Structure 1
Amino acid sequence: MNLETLFLFDNSITKIEDNAFSDLTKLKILRLDNNRISSIKNITISGLTNLRDLRIQDNPFHCDCELIGLVDFLKSGRVSVSGDPRCFTPENLNGASLVSLSAANLTCSDTIDETNSAPLKEGNFLVIVYLFLCLLVKSMMDF
């Protein structure tokens, strides 16, 4: 694909799939700012060899080991980073600039903290409601 500029800012995007940009090898400008993205994996951006301008500020980044590739990419100097993307969680990194972080800051825990688990996301909730309704209708038809 010959796309060089992609504006996806202000769209309430919550997740970027791993290979979302894999066919966009000529992409030079990518705007993902002001969404609800908490993580961008290295595989998502590693193939963007022509990328020169990346805007990802104003997203609630969860700064853990999943973000190491993105932080390294931002610090490589290969791309201009407009704005100042910052951590939202965990609490001890809230407000920290992504480009100021090191791998030592970006740790992952193997255990799940039940007291601090995220609420059910809207999209997941709708799927559960849909499945429940399907089962309800099916049981009514069998009755």
Structure 2
Amino acid sequence: MQRDAFENFNPEDFLQLAKELENNLANLEVNESSIYRTIFGRIYYAIFLYVREWLCENTEYKSNPQGEHKRMPNFIRSKGPFNNVLNNEMCSDIKTLKKLRHQSDYYLHIPDEGTEEYNQWIFEDTLFAFCLADKIINSFKNL
């Protein structure tokens, strides 16, 4: 892998990539499902990386790959930089984006109606995910 590929990276670049993918959907020769799944993944990782780095720089949060996708939102819920209501909201929003990414990465089909998995499925579109991501990143930027 080229060393340059790991230099000069900002997590918000993933968000920009997701937006460009959606804006150029008609010009891509890949199945739409693959593109939307990739968009949800990049949206989640944009906020995950952005928030993780912000927390490491501004709080006592220590990054550790072991279970970090669960630990980080829980840290925000209990020790986040906002008031209790907003800490809980940020935690919930991050978990929602994680769930959308998880659905995109691990399920080939929407689960059958009436199943527990179906009842827990998040039926939201990319506009919803982009709005959540912008809200999360802007909330941390404005501190």
Pick the structure with more strand per residue.
1
TM-score bin, normalised by smaller chain: under 0.3
Q: Higher Cα Rg: structure 1 or 2?
A: 1
Pick the structure with more helix per residue.
2
Structure 2 length-normalised TM: 0.24
Q: Which has the higher contact order (CA 8 A, sep 6+)?
A: 2
Structure 1 length-normalised TM: 0.24
